[in-house]
Amino acid sequence: MYGLARRLYPICRSISGNGVRETLAVLHELIPLEIHEVASGTPVFDWTVPKEWNIRDAYIKNSRGERVVDFQRSSLHVVNYSVPVRAKLRLPELRPHLHSLPEQPGWIPYRTSYYSESWGFCLAHKDLLTLSDDEYEVCIDSSLQPGSLSYGEYFIPGSTNEEVLIYTHTCHPSLANDNLSGIAVVTQLARLLAARGSRYSYRFVFGPGTIGSITWLSRNQERLQRIRHGLVVVLVGDPGPLTYKRSRYGDAEIDRVVQQVLRAGGRAHRIVDFSPYGYDERQFCSPGINLPLGRLTRTPNGEYPEYHTSADNLDLISPGTLAESFEACTQILNVLENNVRLRSTQPNCEPQLGKRGLYAKTGGGKEVGQREYALLWVLNLADGRHRLLDMLERSGLEPEPMYQASRALLEAGLLEIVPENEEKRI
Amino acid sequence: MYGLARRLYPICRSISGNGVRETLAVLHELIPLEIHEVASGTPVFDWTVPKEWNIRDAYIKNSRGERVVDFQRSSLHVVNYSVPVRAKLRLPELRPHLHSLPEQPGWIPYRTSYYSESWGFCLAHKDLLTLSDDEYEVCIDSSLQPGSLSYGEYFIPGSTNEEVLIYTHTCHPSLANDNLSGIAVVTQLARLLAARGSRYSYRFVFGPGTIGSITWLSRNQERLQRIRHGLVVVLVGDPGPLTYKRSRYGDAEIDRVVQQVLRAGGRAHRIVDFSPYGYDERQFCSPGINLPLGRLTRTPNGEYPEYHTSADNLDLISPGTLAESFEACTQILNVLENNVRLRSTQPNCEPQLGKRGLYAKTGGGKEVGQREYALLWVLNLADGRHRLLDMLERSGLEPEPMYQASRALLEAGLLEIVPENEEKRI
Amino acid sequence: MYGLARRLYPICRSISGNGVRETLAVLHELIPLEIHEVASGTPVFDWTVPKEWNIRDAYIKNSRGERVVDFQRSSLHVVNYSVPVRAKLRLPELRPHLHSLPEQPGWIPYRTSYYSESWGFCLAHKDLLTLSDDEYEVCIDSSLQPGSLSYGEYFIPGSTNEEVLIYTHTCHPSLANDNLSGIAVVTQLARLLAARGSRYSYRFVFGPGTIGSITWLSRNQERLQRIRHGLVVVLVGDPGPLTYKRSRYGDAEIDRVVQQVLRAGGRAHRIVDFSPYGYDERQFCSPGINLPLGRLTRTPNGEYPEYHTSADNLDLISPGTLAESFEACTQILNVLENNVRLRSTQPNCEPQLGKRGLYAKTGGGKEVGQREYALLWVLNLADGRHRLLDMLERSGLEPEPMYQASRALLEAGLLEIVPENEEKRI
């Protein structure tokens, strides 16, 4: 995953254009995703697909012809979606087009102007301070023209047509945590799921932030009713603890599942309530859409100093944090997949576990083992109404011993899975 | 408001009689309230309107003819509702009729005997200790005779006939916080509402404690179903923090609204649960009446040392505390008036605020402003089910920015108010 | 109660056999319980009533003919349900059959092997260490043959046929807290209830652990729907604080009642959630049975060092702790018996308590007494929906003043009890 992030790092992505296409092409080598192009001008709910932006070069030269700001050194140097410019300007005229971070003088900020035609450069504040009152040659060799917006989609059918939707954004240029980390983890997750069967169908969408999810939702309205759970997976490579932002419901199955997984093993983590600011969960959780979808990050947007600056580079993320995030995603999907209703075949009093070799033969000791305890909890709650998740929540036990207990009891014929359609009849 | 309290301070009020009439006449100069007289002997639920009490003079003279206790100096000196007395008594005979506060030797206590015919005097404990074993001339020039109980009522019609009821008690003699403070603030509130239109109709009642609310309720049973919210406003002039006592429901709309208002701005305040001891909320929240009505005070009854003593005088209250209490009441009514259901006209994904000038043009910054945040919250919750109060509770934002956001979105055509009758059809 | 425990202490009880019969015969001297015998081999749900076990003698003799382990000195020395043995064994052969507690070298452990035919001895670890590599004569003069399982049942009819079930286990040999304490307290409770009338019918069952409750449940399935509340009362003699384990429901009436009683008077206590490990509550709270039954102990099973060892002897329990446990049980049943719905006959506003002699005559004081406060709470909540328990929970007052207030108001005609069948019509 870290290798994929490293490979994608230099590409200048945006909400449209060839940088995104190049990124999706790399992903296509790993998973057979379908690439969609939506023409500029297409109405998508209250929005319109914007013109396509591409950039070849950009710089500011001083009067000695030296590039004092150079897009070739970092894709962050140009305000994303800047219109083409060729001009000679004195510093006072140029100054309003320059963005820097006085509180972090060594870092280049990341700025965008998607929906208002303008142009600008971003540079380290310490470099800004060295600019003298010179005449500068300014060049942004970009194009902003009718074209299309690109997103990738990969569908893995399961044994039912109920879907789990995973979304990650592809629009940021050379920023590692935001969001090459998300792209890498989600790609790996898709590879894992493609290699094994599943109860749910899975749909992975790689699209630009905001306009990407709006476009996808606008074109897939009839499909939304099949989506049972969703997750936006982004910013999962920094060293902060895993952080889950609840869905607008607050107590959806996905919210409860993630909470169980994150608290297992005593791992440091944070759970935060939904709020209408952040990433694409804003669109999936808008009042008319209102999907049960939460967001998994490590440190959330805006809460780490390197956020949206050149310091969000390949040093901020690591193979270990990516792996831990991937592992958490896998466990979340495992609980979702196993979250069935269970019913005891011997519901009156406890069944005699000893005669089936499931319980210690000598009695009188002080404590019961974790294995026996999990067996007793599963049996006690297996009244046909409780799902595995309910059992995890009530018992306080961790997912793994509870899976093992369920499997042992199913094999012993003491437990059966309640078919989902039977449940609906009740 | 402080001036009104000062003007009313010397009058000897009780649960009936000319002191109350004089008080209501002063209020009539400010608001056109209707004055009701209910004849002694009228049955009101389990009670009976008592005889009317009036007092002209009362004193205890020592053998030298000096008034050692003198009603003319403080209306508290006589036990309220004392029957007429003219007698010469030695100190041991007089002593059982004298009330003082040994723990506060300089203060005169306030005592009543409304429903048991007796007489007595209240005096500072230090003065009681100076009484020698003399013969005393005792005089209470009062009358307790069939008459009537007086209360004032002021109705301000709104655009609907759903009512908000505000009650404050008028029965205490020269006590400033209890309850000239309540009378002054409620009078001012009535003046404010009369001067502006409102959604709700408002009914203000100025009546004696306990028997006043019982009498009013007994005579207005058919009207109770129109009352949507109620507030007893009393003891609002002392320097303690504002304190709200919840209705018997505990989670009525008025309970939630007051909680939002009091916590705004980080203001010190207290919220306490309903209990069946206190002021007229006892009657409004009795099981057969059970109105959604809470009580706003500063320090509650019995919890400040000056309570029901001569130290509850004009020094205990101040223009500033009265103004703060009035302001809180105003904000409470503002939230009630604005607590409508809102529905987004663009519920699928976020509407594009930028093209309407409601959102910053350059993206990538770390934080969103309070103004934008309020816009996003209102839009996210505007699904036709949430009211403004729900939005305040869920967002944690304060009322003022949320009103502004709602207004801006209504003006931009992005929001509409759900008619109340449509809501009922759902 | 302590005397009864002392009398029963020497008897070697088990899940079947003459030790249990002898125990039940002693109880029969105190309460007229019915003794049931269920034949070995009878299927009871997923279990089968086991063969009957009886034991006359058991010992290990060394080569000098000395009894180094002797059942006559403690019934714990033999693994309960050991099959008959007569053999001469060297120490290495004998060793796997010996159980001791290295961490408590002076105490004999208690071990059982009910459902797996084997044999063994339990002894103090310090005695185990003194055994030399000798040849030992091993004798267990027991029998394990078809017979029957015995339990006692005592039914006290009340004015309704709704039942309260009290269960305590009888299967442990010479262990005082586990469970002669429970047997003694439950017997005394049965005597108390037999001596006074009650609203509920009460059913007391004295049976072996696990197989006893399974057998009883299997034979009384048609009766279960009458059981409104249940309590397992065991381990109630040690010095630890009273501990209540909630029913599987967690908020059943019995759960709420016990919580009220235990917190009254500021008494130290613990409330723990249901878990499927412990005593016979496991069976009563299995998914197919699911009775609203909790468990009252002092220190729960496994949580005190003397648990299931010879140190759980008559010194661990005391008359004082037994009396406190008994008193708590009595208070629990008192709240259950009194937990009726109450309705005010004067629900509109407060009734005038003063004219009925229920309220102080002089007004104006700072506080109301506990007696008046209880009267006001009962009246305020007496809307026909609240039961006494609801009133206790909401008012925070203790049971005794609330009973007194209810009685005074019933006598004054201000309150009436809502018939249970009327409630069902609502």
Sheet holding A293-297, edge to edge: A34-39, A148-156, A201-207, A163-169, A227-233, A293-297, A242-245, A269-272
Nearest alpha-carbon partner for A264 in A324, A182, A340, A202: A324
Which chain B residues are closer than 8 Å to A276 by Cβ? Answer: 350, 376-377, 379-380
User: Nearest residue on chain C to A383, judged by CA atoms?
Assistant: C287
pLDDT of C256 reads: 98
User: Nearest residue on chain C to B305, judged by CA atoms?
Assistant: C366
**Is domain C341-425 annotated with CATH 1.10.10.10?**
yes
Q: Mark the ranges of chain A whose per-residue pLDDT is less than 70.
A: 361, 366-367, 422-426
What average pLDDT does this structure show over B362-369? 72
Chains with ≥3 CB–CB distances under 8 Å to C:
A, B
Q: What integer best gives the mean pLDDT of chain C?
A: 95
Q: Rounded to whole angstroms, what are the CA distances from C139 to A371, C9, C59, C78, C94? A: 36, 24, 5, 10, 12
Complex confidence, ipTM: 0.93
Q: Where are the alpha helices (DSSP H) in A30-172?
A: 91-94, 125-129
Tell me how far apart the terminal alpha carbons of chain C are, to the nearest angstrom: 45
CATH 3.50.30.90 domain residues, chain B: 52-145
- Tell if the CB–CB gap between A111 and B380 is shorter than 8 Å: no
pLDDT digits (tens, 9 = 90+) for C101-157: 999 999 999 999 998 899 999 999 999 999 999 999 999 999 999 999 999 999 999
pLDDT of B47 reads: 97
Strands A163-169 and A148-156 turn out to be: unpaired
Instruction: Select from A347, A366, A379 the Cβ nearest to the Cβ of C302.
Output: A366
Task: Say how many C-beta atoms besides its own lie within 10 A of residue C374's C-beta.
Answer: 24
Cα A220 to Cα A327: distance, rounded to the nearest angstrom: 30
Strands (E), B286-345: 293-297, 341-344
DSSP character at residue B49: P
- Tell if the CB–CB gap between B350 and A109 is shorter than 8 Å: no
- Tell if the CB–CB gap between B349 and A302 is shorter than 8 Å: no
pLDDT of A426 reads: 44
Cα A167 to Cα A153: distance, rounded to the nearest angstrom: 9
Compute the nearest-CA separation of B251 from chain C (Å).
14
pLDDT digits (tens, 9 = 90+) for C367-376: 678 889 999 9
Print burial letters for A381-398: b (CB count within 10 Å at least 16), e (below 16): bbbbebbbbebbebbebb
- Tell if the CB–CB gap between A349 and C112 is shorter than 8 Å: no
Which chain B residues are closer than 8 Å to C380 by Cβ? Answer: 248, 276, 282, 285-287
CA B141 centroid distance within chain? 32
Strands (E), B146-267: 148-156, 163-169, 201-207, 227-233, 242-245
Instruction: Select from A218, A275, A286 the Cβ nearest to the Cβ of B347.
Output: A286
Q: Tell me the one-letter amino acid at C24.
A: L
- Tell if the CB–CB gap between B113 and C383 is shorter than 8 Å: no
Does residue C295 contact residue A354 with C-beta atoms inside 8 Å?
A: no
- Tell if the CB–CB gap between A113 and B363 is shorter than 8 Å: yes
Cα A239 to Cα A236: distance, rounded to the nearest angstrom: 9
> Best mutation site among C341, C342, C344, C349 for testing chain B: the one with the most B CBs within 10 Å?
C349
Cα A254 to Cα A164: distance, rounded to the nearest angstrom: 10
- Tell if the CB–CB gap between B287 and C381 is shorter than 8 Å: yes
Q: What integer best gives the mean pLDDT of chain B?
A: 95
User: Nearest residue on chain A to C305, judged by CA atoms?
Assistant: A366
- As a CATH number, domain A52-145 is 3.50.30.90
Residue C343's DSSP bridge partners are: C383, C416
DSSP character at residue A269: E
Which chain C residues are closer than 8 Å to A383 by Cβ? Answer: 287-288, 290
pLDDT digits (tens, 9 = 90+) for B33-72: 999 999 999 999 999 999 999 999 999 999 999 999 999 9
Nearest alpha-carbon partner for A300 in A241, A212, A214, A229: A241
pLDDT of C426 reads: 44
Cα A164 to Cα A186: distance, rounded to the nearest angstrom: 13
Compute the nearest-CA separation of B178 from chain C (Å).
12
What average pLDDT does this structure show over C174-179? 96
- Map tokens 């003593």 to a residue: B309
pLDDT digits (tens, 9 = 90+) for B368-418: 788 899 999 999 999 999 999 999 999 999 998 999 999 999 999 999 999
Q: How many CA atoms lie within 13 A of A262 on its CB side?
A: 22
Cα B302 to Cα A387: distance, rounded to the nearest angstrom: 53
Instruction: Select from C346, C347, C368 the Cβ nearest to the Cβ of B277.
Output: C368
Task: Say how many C-beta atoms besides its own lie within 10 A of residue A226's C-beta.
Answer: 15
What average pLDDT does this structure show over B262-272? 92
Instruction: Select from A111, A218, A302 the Cβ nearest to the Cβ of B367.
Output: A302
Compute the nearest-CA separation of A9 from chain C (Å).
52
Whether the pLDDT of residue B426 is over 60: the answer is: no
Stretch among B355-359, C138-142, C345-349 having the lowest mean pLDDT: B355-359
Q: Where are the alpha helices (DSSP H) in A63-164?
A: 91-94, 125-129
What average pLDDT does this structure show over C76-97? 96
Instruction: Select from B113, B286, B308 the Cβ nearest to the Cβ of C349.
Output: B286
Compute the nearest-CA separation of C359 from chain A (Å).
49
CATH 3.40.630.10 domain residues, chain C: 2-50+148-338
Size of interface B-C (CB pairs under 8 A): 90
Which chain A residues are closer than 8 Å to C210 by Cβ? Answer: 350
What average pLDDT does this structure show over B304-325? 97
Which chain B residues are closer than 8 Å to A109 by Cβ? Answer: 364
pLDDT digits (tens, 9 = 90+) for C261-312: 999 888 899 999 999 999 999 999 999 999 999 999 999 998 999 999 999 9
Architecture of domain A2-50+148-338: 3-Layer(aba) Sandwich (3.40)
Let me know the angle formed at the C-alpha of A88 by A82 and A94, rounded to the nearest 5 degrees: 60
Give Cβ neighbours of residue C421 (< 8 Å, ≥ 6 apart). Answer: none
Whether the pLDDT of residue B337 is over 60: the answer is: yes
Cα B67 to Cα A275: distance, rounded to the nearest angstrom: 71
Q: State phi, psi for C92 to the nearest 5 degrees.
A: -60, -35
CATH 1.10.10.10 domain residues, chain B: 341-425
Which chain C residues are closer than 8 Å to A347 by Cβ? Answer: 286-289
Let me know the angle formed at the C-alpha of A244 by A239 and A250, rounded to the nearest 5 degrees: 170
pLDDT of C366 reads: 66
Strands B163-169 and B85-90 turn out to be: unpaired
pLDDT of B249 reads: 98
Whether the pLDDT of residue C422 is over 80: the answer is: no
- Tell if the CB–CB gap between B367 and A275 is shorter than 8 Å: no
Does residue B216 contact residue B282 with C-beta atoms inside 8 Å?
A: no
Q: State phi, psi for B401 to the nearest 5 degrees.
A: -65, -30
pLDDT digits (tens, 9 = 90+) for B164-188: 999 999 999 999 999 999 999 999 9
